[in-house]
A and B are shown apart, each in its own frame.
Chain A
Amino acid sequence: MVAMSGGVDSSVTAALLTQAGYQVIGVTMEIWPKDLIDQTPGSRCCGLTAVEDARKVASKLGISHYVVNLREVFARRVIANFCQEYARGRTPNPCVRCNRYVKFDALLAYARALEADYLATGHYARIARDEVTGRWLLKKGVDSRKDQSYFLYTLTQEQLRHILFPLGELTKERVRKIARELDLPVAAKAESQEVCFIPQNDYHRFLRRNMPGSLREGPIIDQQGRVLGRHRGIAFYTVGQRRGLGVATGKPLYVLALDEKRNAVVVGPESALYRPALVAGDPNWIAIETLDHPREVQARIRYRHREAPATVVPYAGDQVLVRFAAPQRAITPGQAVVFYDGDTVVGGGTILYALDEGKKGKNEDNGE
């Protein structure tokens, strides 16, 4: 079964698998709330246009095509969480959750219901088998600019066993070329990068519409707790943000943290954005069974972040401590931190908070 959005990547995925001799079933998910579709006529992803585009591609490839309604799980697991996280002063990553709960759980269940051996998507990532441990591995796509392994770190062994990422071995250029060669009706389409369910990418308006109750004004304070101004609700701010603070001082100020308890936006100089360590929760391990001792990794703290050398250490409860070789700019709670060993995803987790040097966790040396 191939998840088809009507876009180039998933269309080529379906085409490649059909050519390779697989018996392919195309499926398009309907995940957006209905009112959003009405608001966004002609929207590319997930709306009616997407369904029609996917249907045309499927018909061209001569495969069956179905539409499945996953609105409920998407609303609950992705949209509701997105709003809650912002209300708590975090910056969530909805794509990670969509992969985790919608594509590779709810949709994968459909694939299994149809006795499909695999669910394939147009993600730029690769799956391999570790010959020694027998574990399924997640690796970066060969096109480093398009690599999407960051969004897939939550995949379990059971899920990986049933997934195909045929585009992982290809560059985007090559994928576009294949689309043109096969005369797929989507070859000329543009990319979409925004949060797919937010109209015009205006997430301020989206939050105002969807969670007006939790947007409370509050103080903007500096690191010493001095009030410098007022903010419109911590949900509207992100760590590392500089513009739009409305605070006039001599030096440029940046958002350092969002303090949910005090409903405060904490600001300071750019230098204070650099932090040497972080604590992440809800980890998932792919290359290893579990983290039982400190490991040297390359850690990525957001999608467009250059990986940084770090040590990842078991921490209190189910958490992990990540200590970077050099301080990292704008460690943002809510984003995913993903650990790499070369091209291989070791695992990842959700960033809970940044830590300063000196304040080392109690358990960090007990790992061994």
Chain B
Amino acid sequence: MRRIYLDHAATTPTHPEVARAMLPYLNPEAFGNPSSAYTFGQEAKRALDEARDKVAALIGAAPEEIFFTSGGTESDNWALRGAAYARADKGRHIITSSIEHHAILDVCKLLEQDGFRITCLTVDRYGFVDPDDVRRALTPGTVLISVMHANNEVGTIEPIVEIARVAREAGICFHTDAVQTVGHIPVNVNELGVDLLSIAGHKLYGPKGIGALYIREGTKMAPLIVGGAQERGMRAGTENVPGIVGFGKAAEIARKEMPEVLPRIRHLRDTLIEGLTQNIPGVRLNGHPEQRLPQNVNVTVEGVEGEALVMALDQEGIAVSTGSACSTGATEPSHVILALGVPPGEARGTIRMTLGRDTTAEDVERVLEVLPRVIGRLRAIAGWRTARQCTGCG
């Protein structure tokens, strides 16, 4: 049985070319420390520079604006803390949205303890942040706005251009978490008008443990990790050279392949959404039908536990998730689905399927054949339980 992986929003399989590009840097042939003066070091430094060029090219940035980190979570942490603390003398108010990743929301909680005030904007039923809400939330003390480019769970693509314009007009630093978009849809930091932007390597077929923060030239930033002059003094620690090389390769491939991959995946996504919502009663799409990531399908299935669906599909060789991955495996109703206004009882029946460059029409066909059967079974059992419990009510 071919195993079908439909959780590319959690992580992507490393591209074979990426793995190949990294190999020399994992082997003893190219182990140098980029900070070293001798040839070993210079070779590593060159690899670093090339990778930086590729990542910069993918998002229309200058190489000097790319700072490598350990991944999307560090980039988000750094963006918020670095920008907030660098401006703490000007004000202590931050605006964000209620559907951000926890890498943003949890940092906001910590900043709150440090005396910052956080405005968490609500979203509409599609998950859109209203740029006018951002404008209305502005105060004289506002120093930072952070709104994600696209939501990791429901795939809604936010009106970043408009929100960034609000920020720019008010002269406020603007960050976007673009972990879900970079490499999947065109992202250009100048067209978007952002000052800070987070990227994760493993979401675009690169290795895990590597990411980047784009920092627009001239943006005031404090470092998060100190103790060395790497990344121009902004991010200390000997560089993860194999990871960075792989990340660069992944960025290069994404840029090259996007014109072909994007429309193909989007078409498969629409086939899947159509098949699910039209052929299975009680299945509702979460997020916006068009303004959504080309790889994202998120549905709420009435009368079914999302966890049970994940388990049952796994036994059929199909990997999907209930939402964002959680360390324990079990999940609470997602804060994103709840923010969209789905009642908690129904929210538990939510599953996310995220397609990738290797997803085929046959895969989608198989899912559409298996899912109705599995959902029917789960619903029958839910009925069986309800009926049984009622006889015991007395």
Contact = CB atoms under 8 A, between A and B. Distances in A.
A66 B389 contact: no
Tell me what chain A mostly uses at the interface: helix, strand, loop, or mixed.
mixed
A109 B329 contact: no
A69 B314 contact: no
Interface residues on chain A, size class: 20 to 34
Given A25-B315, A110-B311, A114-B315, A67 B330 contact: yes
Interface string A58-85: 0000001011110000000000000000
Interface string A144-166: 00000000000010100000000
A113 B311 contact: yes
B319 to A, nearest CB: 12
B378 interface: yes
A30 interface: yes
A30 B381 contact: no
A115 B385 CA distance: 15
Contact of A105 (B330, B385, B394): B385
A30 B328 contact: yes
Given A30-B328, A68-B330, A114-B315, A105 B307 contact: no
B312 A113 contact: yes
Contacts of A34: 332
Contacts of B308: 68, 109-110, 113-114
A67 B328 contact: yes
Given A114-B315, A158-B388, A51 B378 contact: no
A48 interface: yes
A159 B322 CA distance: 28
Interface string B296-311: 0000000001011011
Given A115-B377, A282-B394, A318-B394, A66 B385 contact: no
Interface residues of B, number: 23
Contacts of B384: 109, 112
B56 to A, nearest CB: 40
A253 B305 CA distance: 52
A69 B394 contact: no
Contact of B382 (A27, A66, A109, A158): A109
B331 interface: yes
A329 to B, nearest CB: 30
Interface string A1-43: 0000000000000000000000001011010001000000000
Interface string A110-148: 101111000000000000000000000000000000000
A68 B381 contact: no
A69 B311 contact: no
A365 B377 CA distance: 48
A280 to B, nearest CB: 14
Given A112-B381, A158-B388, A51 B328 contact: yes
Interface string A69-107: 100000000000000000000000000000000000110
Given A25-B315, A105-B385, A113-B312, A69 B378 contact: no
A282 B392 CA distance: 9
Given A30-B330, A113-B377, A68 B394 contact: no
Contacts of A67: 307, 328-330
Contact of A69 (B332, B381, B382): B332
A108 to B, nearest CB: 9
Q: Which of B314, B328, B332 counts the most A-chain CB atoms under 10 A from its CB?
A: B328
A69 B330 contact: yes
Interface in B16-50: none
Contacts of B307: 66-69
B124 to A, nearest CB: 28
A275 to B, nearest CB: 26
Interface string B355-380: 00000000000000000000001100
A110 B314 CA distance: 13
Interface string B273-314: 000000000000000000000000000000001011011101
A113 B381 contact: yes
Contacts of B388: 105, 156, 158
A64 B315 CA distance: 9
Contacts of A112: 381, 384
A294 to B, nearest CB: 23
Contacts of B331: 69
Contact of A64 (B314, B327, B394): B314
A202 B126 CA distance: 47
Contacts of A69: 307, 330-332
A106 B305 CA distance: 11
A349 to B, nearest CB: 12
Nearest to A111: B381
Contacts of B381: 109, 112-113
A27 B330 CA distance: 11
A67 B310 CA distance: 11
Nearest to B315: A114
A85 to B, nearest CB: 17
Contacts of A105: 385, 388-389
Contacts of B310: 66
B122 to A, nearest CB: 24
Interface string B317-359: 0000000000111111000000000000000000000000000
A48 B307 CA distance: 17
10 contacts: A30-B330, A64-B315, A66-B314, A67-B328, A68-B308, A110-B308, A110-B311, A114-B308, A114-B315, A156-B388
6 A-B pairs closest in CB distance: A67-B329, A67-B330, A69-B330, A30-B330, A113-B308, A66-B311
Given A27-B311, A113-B311, 13 more contacts: A51-B329, A66-B314, A67-B328, A67-B330, A68-B311, A69-B330, A105-B388, A110-B305, A113-B312, A114-B311, A115-B377, A156-B388, A318-B394
Interface of B: 305, 307-308, 310-312, 314-315, 327-332, 377-378, 381-382, 384-385, 388-389, 394
Interface of A: 25, 27-28, 30, 34, 48, 51, 55, 64, 66-69, 105-106, 109-110, 112-115, 156, 158, 282, 318
